[in-house]
Amino acid sequence: MMSATPQHRPGAAPSDPSVEVVGTVVGDPVQGAPLDPAAAAEAARAQALEEVLAAAAVAFMERGFAATSIDDVARGMGATKGRVYHYYRSKLDLFADVIRRSLEMIHEAVAQAEGAGGDPQARMERMMRVHVRSILEDQPWHRCALQGVEMFLRESAAPEQRAAMADLIHLRGAHERLFLRVLEQGMETGAFRRCDAAVTVRTLLPALNGAVYWYRPREGETEAHLDRIIDEIVAFALGGLEAR
């Protein structure tokens, strides 16, 4: 599995929502040193929030934004809707955070892949592979993001929601610019054909994202099967960039 991706797989069994870990000392798994009660409570809160977001990602993917209720999200965790409202005032705010987490996780993974070095062609191939693996492994999150940004733009009305929308657009743009930079470098070295880089990247990314709509995990699916899917998608996408 892709180590750069946060470990919060949608559909994972949630922890007991009644456990708040107030005043509990939790050991640091690496150093063995105890966390103070405030740090332990903050860690528990972060974990609980991740569970809300993961359940929301699955619910939004399965039902769509309009048909999903806060009750649906809560049922996905085996909890009451009060647990969701503890973190979010509205379904739209919750949806925005699912989109944000999707963009953050894939951008972080691809940025690490780009920063690992190598010539433009090697970096582009590595970035594509990491991007597609995240699309496959974190499908509910990315399905929400790919379908939701334009919808959120239409639905958002409050000033804080408009600010959230601007942040999401900025994150999406930063991800595009990673690919744009490497593509331009590859054109300079002759590895990639000359093209309108901005148009090409905005065509490339939908090709890499496409599996979010048709991929269905199968029981007993292995890493080798995922690798074959990734190989096919990346070969197709990279072939469109390479100099003839």
Quick: pLDDT tens for 62-88: 888 889 999 999 999 999 999 999 999
Q: Give the per-residue pLDDT at 147.
A: 78
Dihedral sign for Cα atoms in the order 99, 105, 109, 111: positive
Task: Say whether pLDDT at 18 is over 90.
Answer: no
Residues 6+ apart with CB under 8 A from 18: none
- Asked whether residue 33 carries a pLDDT value surpassing 80, the answer given is no
Closest C-alpha among 174, 141, 130, 184 to residue 9: 141
- Specify the residue for token string 């949608």: 10
Average pLDDT over residues 104-119: 95
Among the residue ranges 12-26, 34-48, 109-123, the one predicted with the least confidence is 12-26
DSSP 32: -
Instruction: Write down the architecture of domain 90-239 according to CATH.
Output: Orthogonal Bundle (1.10)
How confident is the model at residue 1, as a pLDDT? 37
Percentage, residues of the chain above pLDDT 70: 82
The structural domains of the chain, with segments of one domain joined by +, span: 90-239
| Dist. CA 146–CA 129, nearest whole Å | 18
Token readout for 164 is 């959230």
